[in-house]
Each structure stands twice: as structure tokens, then as C-alpha cells.
Amino acid sequence: MMEFQFHQPASLAEAFDLLNTYGDDARIMAGGTGLVLQMKQRLAQPGHVISLRRIPGLNNIEAAADYHGAMRIGALCTHWQVETSSLVQRQTPLLAQTYRHVATPRIRQMATVGGGLVHGDPNQDPPPSLIVLDASAVIASASGQRIVPVEKLFVDYFETDLQPGEILTSVLAPRAPEGAGTAYLKFLPRTADDYPTVSVAVVVTPGPRNVCRDVRIALGAVDVKPVRAAQAEDLLKGKPLTKANIQACAAAVPDLVEPLDDYRGSADYKREMAAVFTRRAITQALASVGKG
């Protein structure tokens, strides 16, 4: 690994100053699980690494009074913190379940919520669940703050909407709608600590006479970025939640994704599995309705 200077700012203002001073030669580090690997492989060669660890206020999980009762999850919260938080388990169990699916406890105790999102790896577990919950990323810079829906955060393969000089400071995660069921399924044919071959998150809200009032479906590992399957959702909204209608909705998914061939499966196999796991995720989400 090349030599670099390690900075530990004690405030966001100090971190913004460092980013502005060193520009392209600087990289933010949170848990380091993604960045250090990239540096070892020489995919990233920053001369300056700016750690967020000493900046106070970035690792809390709390109710965000100013955002319609959403939870504010600090960017520096580890995956482990999200998985074990009683507030998350009570308010948004889908997120606790999803973060529990990431890699191993060792990784989950290092990797952070913000680092995971900015890393932009399309195979990561959390983005599909954050997308179906309509979560947003809070992004700050020396000139202010902006809020970007997680659905719009991913631009391309390992590329996000974050601009030079910006730091992701928290994630706003709303509760699932009243009466909704949720599920996150990770298809793992290899080892239990691997990235998914295909992953699917669903939030479905049944209405009177078992008609689908609303459904949100997002997938990971099936394209260069996480995919919201809006056209498949449209096939189920307003229809009875029968096996046939769920099957028809899931069958539309393969045409909405562009998987890459890799050692976890061919693109064709992943397309097929995307449909299978979407059907299962909708069914599992429905079974969870009323169970908290």
C-alpha cells in the first residue's frame, strides 16, 4: 500500500476544510472495510485519508422530530448498531433484519451505514431495503446540506451522486406504512457471509378485500446499481393479492434488470432468480402483516 497522511478532524467544518485543501488527493474513511481493500488493490491511491471517527454526533440512532417521525441514523453507525438497536427493531424491523444479513459480525462491527452507501457497490444488502422504505441520505458540505432519496443516490457501478467536498452525515428512514408487511430476501447459494447472488426487498400494503393498496419492490446485485422495479409494482397495485397476480408481478422483473455475469451466477440465472425471489419476498412480506 502506498504512503498517505492520516487526518482525524474533530468537527465536520475541519473535515470540509481538509477536503477542500486536498481535493482529489483526499478520501474520507469511515469503517475502512471498503476503502482499505481498494487501497491495497491500488484501485484508490489517496495521499490523504480523512477519518470521520473523531467527529461527534455522527453515530446516533434517534427519532427525527423534523422528518415525519422517521429515524435518523448517523452515517458513522455501524451495521451492528443498526441490527441491535431496539429503536430500529421496534420502528423499522426490516432494517434490523437487512443489516443482520451483511457479511460477518466482524465486518458488521466495522462497516458503517454512510460508508456502505457511498461505497456504491450494487451487491450490498442495505440499499434495496432503504429504497422500499423511501429513506433519504443527508449530505453536507461547507456550503450547506441537501437531502437525496436513497433511490436517486446511486448513479453507476460504484458511483454515487456525492460531489467533491461532500460528506454523507445521516440517513432518514421512515417507518413502513401502517398495515404494511415487509421482507428482505438474500439469495446466497455459496457461503452465508457472501454478497447476494440476487437480493429483493418488499414493502406491501394490503387494503380492503385483500386488494393491493401499495407495493414497493427493489433489488440488489442484478444491475450496475440497485433497481426499483416500478413497472412490476404497477402490475400488482389495485389488484387482488392472489398467487397468480403476485406471480405476474414477479415475472415482469427479469426485463427490468441487467445483471452482470460473475462467479455468483450468469446474467440469465440471476434474471430467473430475480423473479423467483421477488415472488417469495412479496409472499413473505404479506405473511408478516400485523406481526410488527
Ligand X SMILES: Cc1cc2nc3c(=O)[nH]c(=O)nc-3n(C[C@H](O)[C@H](O)[C@H](O)COP(=O)(O)OP(=O)(O)OC[C@H]3O[C@@H](n4cnc5c(N)ncnc54)[C@H](O)[C@@H]3O)c2cc1C
Q: What does the binding site for ligand X look like in residue numbers (CB under 6 A)?
A: 27-35, 37, 52, 75, 102-103, 107, 110-112, 114-116, 118-119, 121, 124-126, 162, 167-168, 195
Smallest gap from residue 162 Cβ to ligand X (A): 6
> Any idea of the CA torsion for 109, 114, 115, 118, to the nearest 10 degrees?
160
Minimum CB distance to ligand X smaller for 31 or for 259:
31
Smallest gap from residue 289 Cβ to ligand X (A): 26
Smallest gap from residue 86 Cβ to ligand X (A): 22
Rounded Cα distance between 119 and 128, Å, is 15
Minimum CB distance to ligand X smaller for 11 or for 210:
11
Residue 87 Cα distances to 29, 173, 178, 253, 274, angstroms: 27, 12, 17, 33, 31
Residue nearest to ligand X (CB): 115
Minimum CB distance to ligand X smaller for 186 or for 283:
186
Helices 267-287 and 243-251: crossing angle, nearest 10°?
150
Minimum CB distance to ligand X smaller for 35 or for 183:
35
Minimum CB distance to ligand X smaller for 127 or for 254:
127
The pair phi, psi for residue 18, each rounded to 5°, is -65, -45
Smallest gap from residue 13 Cβ to ligand X (A): 15
Burial classification of residue 118, based on how many CB atoms lie within 10 Å of its CB (0-12 exposed, 13-18 middle, 19 or more buried): buried
